[in-house]
Structure 1
Amino acid sequence: MTGGSAIRGSRVGAGPMGEAERGDAAPRLYVSYYCANRHETRPAFAADAQIPDTWDCPRCGLPSNLDSTNPPPPPKIEPYKTHLAYVKERRSDAEAADILKEALQSLRDRRASGEVIY
């Protein structure tokens, strides 16, 4: 084995590619976005790209905007609602009782005619 400072698995002549081999980098524009937790995010955009008004903070996930003194508020989190909660929003107790009465009468009529066996 030969000693030396060569990186294992590399070949002779391998090295980082410089600007001469890749060409010039595209011009970039760094824009600062601020979230409600006072995090600053600086994504890079192409110089001719349209800059978005809002950006999601990579640290906390809250929305952020370009104004450091007035960041957007955190979104309101709605509690989980069950199907029954949505039904109760649409119908009053009296309407629910009428619908239940109608469904039971329909089932009784079907059973009496032999259409439903159970």
Structure 2
Amino acid sequence: MAGGGSAIRGSRVGAGPMGEAERGEAAPRLYVSYFCSNGHETRPAFAADAQVPDSWDCPRCGLPANLDSSNPPPPPKNEPYKTHLAYVKERRSDSEAAEILTEALTALRDRRARGEVIY
């Protein structure tokens, strides 16, 4: 082969941008503005006859956004992780826990006194 260029030249059918004449006309679009609590504006495009959703996730920060620029939705509350013990402490007072523990220890000691094997 001679030359320093590419050995493959030319183009195939449909390879290049031919414009709308070949692809057909684009569907009419509607651009809608959504606003998040961080002040970001997002403008997704919808088909002109599509039903526009009331909310949209902001692609920059992930917070929910709505159509009202003066009153965007607040960020969602993230509850901190709770351990099993934290949930138990919400349901029982310290005195209730001490009473339950005393009952359980008494029952365990009675079983041991009768000679039961306890694992």
TM-score by length of 2: 0.78
Pairs aligned (count): 116
The answer to which of 35-44 and 25-34 deviates more is: 25-34
Q: CA RMSD in A?
A: 2.6
Counterparts of 2:8 and 2:80 in 1: how far apart (Å)?
55
Counterparts of 1:9 and 1:100 in 2: how far apart (Å)?
84
Q: Which residue of 1 aligns with 2:114?
A: 113
Q: Which residue of 2 aligns with 1:68?
A: 69
Q: CA deviation at 1:64?
A: 1.0
Counterparts of 1:9 and 1:98 in 2: how far apart (Å)?
87
Counterparts of 2:48 and 2:106 in 1: how far apart (Å)?
71
- Please state whether the residue corresponding to 1:34 is helix, strand or coil: strand
Q: CA deviation at 1:50?
A: 1.9
Counterparts of 2:79 and 2:68 in 1: how far apart (Å)?
26
Unaligned 5+ residue runs, structure 2?
none
Structure 1 segments, 4+ long, off by >4 Å, are: 1-4, 8-11
Code of the aligned partner of 1:12: S
Identical amino acids, percent of aligned pairs: 79
